[in-house]
Amino acid sequence: MGTSLILFKVFNIEVRVHWSFVLILIYGAFAYAGSDSNVLFGSLYGVLVILLLFVCVTLHEFGHALVAKYYKVNVPSITLLPIGGVASLERMPDKPIQEFLIAIAGPLVNFVLAVLLLPLCFVVYNLDTRLSGAPLTLNNLLGIMQTATPAGLVIYLTITNIALALFNLLPAFPMDGGRILRALLAMTTSYVQATRIAVFVGRIMAVLFAIWGIAGGGGIFMLLIAFFVYVGGGSEREAVESRAVLKNVLASQALTHSAAKLYTSERVNRAVELVMNSYQTDYSVLDLSGKFVGVLTRARLIQALNTVGSDARVVDVMVPAEQIPICSPRQNLAEVWEKMAESGSRDVAIKDGSEFLGLITVDDISEVFQVVGAVMNSTTPPQTPSSAPQPSGATNA
């Protein structure tokens, strides 16, 4: 998503468009180029259709996002892709009913849009003289929506909103219907088990989508959705399993009490010596009174060596303490993990009141996850990510 462009920001949510979005505009132009005697007019009409369709997709994603924000779940961005939209949730909601309401909000927005467009459908249908006397049947409506006319545009948006809502309600996790299924299952079983069942059902749906795409019913877009469902479901299952493991470990238990520390009076070459003689990558920085004032990360260390040299003072190149999130030793590692995700930091300072106890890094969490997960699942090894676990929470249209 790093190559996406910010379109605008509303409700403190960035609406982004991925560079690949241009592909769907080209598709729209080609699809309607032959629907009118004027090829240029047909192409421009096709682009307009796609743009208005994605206005509906954006409103769908805002349905998810605003309900999520109501439940104090931050949604930093919505990204538009050729296959739909993705609302990025920084964490999953605390209760199954909250996930249910967040997931169903998107399809409900599409149903509302269809209801609002329905009266306009009848107006443009009756005003179009070419349609006078033609019975109002589904086949006729599907034929009209392929024409580059006002009636075709309104009917297209109405039918497509209904189709979007129904398609998203299919139990293809992590699409909306799959999240609804997971939420309902989680009301009677564990969240991990509910996720595993939802992912299994979603992968069956992904195979069906792929067959549909290969058979010619959905084309390349259906194959892309099948890939998204198959891979995305597995990634979220790993994230949920990771969180379940980390909830069993307190921050105080994950602290490395023998971790080396740096002082503001020391030079960067002291950190180089420590790195060469240990596996530690990030170092807490204390002033002469022992107060925590910052962190020297490996990235900052390398940057300092490349720019100012090893004689630079640690205090001049460290990450200030104000930029390091803080957790209590009584919080579990799942909460520490979420704090890292929310802040974008790879380190969390563990404090008991004003007393600094130590750092927990993303590498520490990855190591704890692998060790504790292996102990908890000694008969069935857990699915461990190849690097530090990353939280997942996104809904798609």
Tell me the per-residue pLDDT of 45-87, one tens digit each, with 9 for 90 and over: 999 999 999 999 999 999 999 999 999 999 999 999 888 899 9
- pLDDT cut 90: percent of the chain above it: 55
Residues 255 and 243 in one domain: no
Residues 51 and 152 in one domain: yes
Q: What are phi and psi of 348, to 5 degrees?
A: -130, 130
The answer to the question of residue 368 being in a domain is no
The answer to the question of residue 394 being in a domain is no
Please give the Cα distance from 334 to 247 (Å, whole number): 5
The answer to the question of residue 383 being in a domain is no
- pLDDT cut 70: percent of the chain above it: 89
Question: Does residue 159 surpass a pLDDT of 80?
Answer: yes
Nearest Cα residue to 33 out of 20, 23, 47: 47
Query: CA separation (Å) from 97 to 71, 183, 190?
Result: 11, 7, 14
Residues 243 and 353 in one domain: no
What pLDDT sits at residue 276?
Answer: 87
Which structural domain, as residue segments, surrounds residue 77?
Answer: 5-248
Mean pLDDT to the nearest integer, 301-318: 91
Please give the Cα distance from 180 to 163 (Å, whole number): 18
Residues 188 and 319 in one domain: no
Question: Does residue 179 surpass a pLDDT of 60?
Answer: yes
pTM of the model: 0.76
Q: What are phi and psi of 327, to 5 degrees?
A: -130, 160
Last residue of a domain, one of 248, 264, 291: 248
Count up the domains in the chain and report the number: 2
The answer to the question of residue 264 being in a domain is yes
Residues 75 and 197 in one domain: yes
Residues 62 and 127 in one domain: yes
The answer to the question of residue 371 being in a domain is no
Residues 303 and 215 in one domain: no
Residues 102 and 211 in one domain: yes
Residues 103 and 144 in one domain: yes
The answer to the question of residue 166 being in a domain is yes
Residues 273 and 220 in one domain: no
Strands ordered across the beta sheet of 13-17: 5-10, 13-17, 77-81, 84-88, 394-396
The answer to the question of residue 377 being in a domain is no
Nearest Cα residue to 242 out of 71, 68, 367, 97: 367
Residues 154 and 77 in one domain: yes
Distance of CA 87 to the CA centre of its chain: 6
The answer to the question of residue 171 being in a domain is yes
CATH number at residue 280: 3.10.580.10
Question: What is the chain's mean pLDDT, rounded?
Answer: 87
Residues 243 and 256 in one domain: no
Please confirm whether the linkage preceding 135 is cis (ω < 30° from 0).
Answer: no
Question: Does residue 121 surpass a pLDDT of 90?
Answer: no
Residue 286: helix, strand or coil by DSSP?
strand
DSSP E strand stretches across the chain: 5-10, 13-17, 77-81, 84-88, 261-263, 283-286, 292-296, 319-320, 326-327, 347-352, 355-361, 394-396
The lowest-confidence range among 26-30, 126-130, 363-367, 387-391 is 387-391
The lowest-confidence range among 28-42, 275-289, 345-359, 372-386 is 372-386
Question: Does residue 396 surpass a pLDDT of 90?
Answer: no
Question: Does residue 294 surpass a pLDDT of 80?
Answer: yes
